[in-house]
């Protein structure tokens, strides 16, 4: 039987459902990074490994932070539903900051380019952020996201439990 939820409950139900999808995808990215041992700076890896690591790291950060970013048409996740330990809160904040300064936007404070030139040679000295999440961050993220998913799924089920 199709359940026709009132507008407010439907919006929250949709937000929780899509948030679980995003956080679940981010968790899978972290698990893959851990499995592969991809936690390196660009100069530490050869070939396509850093590129692949960058893809998974970018996907992890953008997908994870999407539920905590303002959207059109869906409500915010109530802040009191987020029960992070101090270490998890630091990681959550760091991931959101990385999203806003590196992964979703190119923030000027994250990059530096200095032209350098001699008589017969010119180059640009670049300082760019590495696309990586450390092993410790990935391990903490996996446990944090598992708990968060469990909590959001419980909240979603609570919305449905009031309907026969």
Q: Residues 16-25: pLDDT tens digits?
A: 999 999 999 9
Q: Which of 100, 93, 92 is nearest to 141 (CA)?
A: 92
* Dihedral sign from CA coordinates of 5, 9, 15, 18: negative
Residue 67 CA to its chain's centroid (Å): 9
pTM: 0.89
Report d(CA 131, CA 137) in Å as an integer: 13
The predicted structure's pLDDT at residue 104: 84
Query: Please, are residues 31 and 142 in contact by the beta-carbon 8 Å criterion?
Result: yes
Q: Residues 102-157: pLDDT tens digits?
A: 888 887 888 899 999 999 999 999 888 889 999 999 999 999 999 999 999 999 99
- pLDDT band of 35, cuts 50, 70, 90: very high
| SS3 annotation, the chain | CCCCCCHHHHHHHHHHHHHHHHHHHHHHHHHHHHHHCCCCCHHHCCCCHHHHHHHHHHHHHHHHHHHHCCCCCCCCCCHHHCCCCHHHHHHHHHHHHHHHHHHCCCCHHHCEEEEEECCCCEEEEEECCCCCCCHHHHHHHHHHHHHHHHHHHHHHHHHHHCCC
The pair of structure tokens assigned to 78 is: 């109530």
């Amino acid at each position: 039987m199709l359940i026709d939820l009132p507008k407010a409950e439907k919006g929250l139900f949709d937000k929780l459902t899509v948030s679980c999808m995003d956080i679940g995808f981010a968790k899978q990215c972290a698990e893959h990074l851990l499995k592969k041992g991809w936690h390196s700076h660009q100069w530490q890896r050869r070939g396509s490994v850093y590129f692949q690591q960058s893809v998974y790291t970018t996907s992890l950060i953008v997908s994870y932070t999407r539920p905590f970013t303002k959207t059109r048409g869906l409500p915010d996740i109530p802040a009191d539903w987020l029960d992070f330990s101090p270490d998890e809160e630091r990681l959550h904040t760091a991931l959101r900051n990385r999203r806003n300064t590196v992964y979703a936007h190119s923030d000027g404070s994250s990059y530096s380019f200095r032209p350098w030139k001699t008589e017969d040679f010119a180059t640009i000295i670049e300082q760019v952020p590495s696309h990586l999440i450390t092993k410790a961050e990935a391990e903490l993220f996996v446990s944090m996201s598992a708990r968060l998913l469990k909590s959001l799924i419980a909240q979603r089920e609570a919305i449905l439990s009031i309907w026969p």
